Amino acid sequence: MATRKKNEPLGAEAQPFAELMQQMTHLPQISPATLAELQADYLKQAAALWNGSLGQGEAPAVSDRRFSAPEWRANPAASFMTQLYLLNGRTLQQMAAAVEADDKTRARIKFAVQQFVDAASPSNFLATNPEAQKLALDSHGETLARGLQQLWGDVQRGHVSQTDESAFEVGKNVATTAGTVVFENELFQLIEYAPLTPQMHARPFLLVPPCINKFYILDLQPDNSLIRYAVAEGHRVFVVSWRNPDESVKHLTWDDYVEQGAVQAIRVVQAISGQDQINTLGFCVGGTLLACALAVLAARGEQPAASLTLLTTLLDFADNGILDIFVDEASVRLREATLGPDSPKGPQLLHGQELATTFSFLRPNDLVWNYVVGNYLKGEAPPAFDLLYWNGDSTNLPGPMYCWYLRHTYLQNELKVPGKLTVCGEKLDLSAIDCPVYIYGSREDHIVPWQAAYRNTQIFKGPRRFVMGASGHIAGVINPPAKGKRSHWIAKSTALPADPEAWLQGATEHPGSWWTDWSAWLASHAGAMKPAPKTPGNRKYKAIEPAPGRYVKVKA
């Protein structure tokens, strides 16, 4: 590294960024005073880093795990480059936060800046990653050879591998809870699970998972399966396994998913069990579909739900989390023009890989660049991880259904307004759903913020219970009690104030999973115990094939 005297002008490493800041002075979105303050602070910190690299000061410790390997600190050039990169990233984000614009525009700028910053990390490139370089030298190039092989494999697969996909097979070591497909149509298969107890609750239990993912997130392994847990607790469990749409069903609408999907599933479970009322659960978009179905049935004078559980579900779309930055009038019109029923080519499919890529780039360091570095630069095969295998098993969506969902929920937030929307020929009023409701939100959820999940408590009029769990959208939900992980919050009072933060102030943290609290609540609505059925289905709805069925095995 070239030597330089203390307080000399910055070297070439910092000059391009300083010039970029100079060029920003003409932008009216950032006040000149704020920009000048950021620039002065940046130059001060950059000078301190340079002087530290000359041995005239101690370089600050780096907590970022991308640069935690000893090779980063052992190499003075790499250490300086790391510190400067982190400083550049912080300053760019400060500039994005200082843009004088509306909240949505500022959020979009911050997101775009963060994408650039994460992509530009020196850890992502062999020429600037001393850890990857050392591995290549020590292995005589074998790590690079393996990395190229894995890169070529991912090019053929069309996505960055997050796990060893060859280690899993649906129905063999994921989605293994014993059961039988007892109904199918062009939209879904209905699975009834085999009893694990000699007696079961009289009221059956129907789960509606999200149609943008495969249902087996609820049945990954026996020790973390919500489905198996519910069966073991004495419930007669039915699960909707959505079809992975192909060209033959690309015309289907939101109404189809409600009427032919959730409503049809409710009718079949009623018929098989002989029960007029059943317990129901919806997860994420599955919860939105299920709530729509119950509201449609309420408009028809029916109340088939003895209880409703909503897991990380949006009904009030006033706060959509990070996904809100992708939705505005122009973007929705573009989707309608390319995927909707009135597009020049007619209705089209939204391909699952596009959705999967979007969700991965919501957390690019964890779900993209981490694997680029490990798989390609270090030549490390990604470990076998059931949740990430499920995450990569993407599903398509019919364009008309997707476009309706975008416009009327994320963009116009009409679902919560009584009578605003007509679905399946009925005016929707979610408050007309007459049953106890259990609402769950995850504290670190970036897709359905817990505050947004909490707002569902203001929609329903009957008995409601809200519980918040630790962690995110998936890990917070899939948290079996036996693991003894994480915690959850329950309010001492049954009051549900309009302000989520007011609820949180009155809530108490409890160690472990929220499943036990929910299980006790569900049992109170499940009816008396009776002998478990000896066979699945009934005379009308007979066994079609063993679980998990054909539909879940279809790749996008």
Cβ neighbours, 10 Å, residue 160:
21
CA distance 235 to 482: 19
Return the half-sphere exposure (C-beta side, CA atoms, 13 A cut-off) of residue 388: 18
Structure tokens at 387: 């949740």
- Side chain identity at 88, as an amino acid letter? N
Cα angle for residues 387, 389, 390 (degrees, 5° grid):
65
- Look up 284 and say whether it is catalytic: yes
Partnered with residue 427 across adjacent β-strands are 422
**542-545, long-range: CB < 8 A, 24+ apart:** 542/182, 543/180, 543/181, 543/182, 544/180, 544/181, 544/182, 544/183, 544/184, 544/189, 545/180, 545/181
CA distance 221 to 319: 33
Return the half-sphere exposure (C-beta side, CA atoms, 13 A cut-off) of residue 397: 26
> Rg (Cα) of the chain, in Å, rounded?
26
Q: Are 311 and 281 in contact (CB under 8 A)?
A: yes
Q: Are 300 and 225 in contact (CB under 8 A)?
A: no
CA distance 287 to 2: 60
Sorted by sequence, the CB contacts under 8 Å of residue 59 that are 6+ apart come out as: 49, 52, 53, 73, 79, 80, 83
Cβ neighbours, 10 Å, residue 241:
23
CA distance 181 to 550: 9
C-alpha torsion angle, residues 394, 399, 400, 403 (rounded to 10): 80
Q: Active site residue: 211, 284, 403, 424, which one?
A: 284
- Side chain identity at 222, as an amino acid letter? P
Cβ neighbours, 10 Å, residue 500:
22
> 391 in helix, strand or coil?
helix
Tell me, what DSSP letter sits at residue 434?
Answer: -
Q: Is 10 exposed, middle or buried (0-12, 13-18, 19+ CB in 10 A)?
A: middle
Sorted by sequence, the CB contacts under 8 Å of residue 200 that are 6+ apart come out as: 234, 235, 236, 529, 530, 531, 532, 533
Structure tokens at 547: 């679980």
Cα angle for residues 453, 236, 312 (degrees, 5° grid):
10
Active site (catalytic) residues: 284
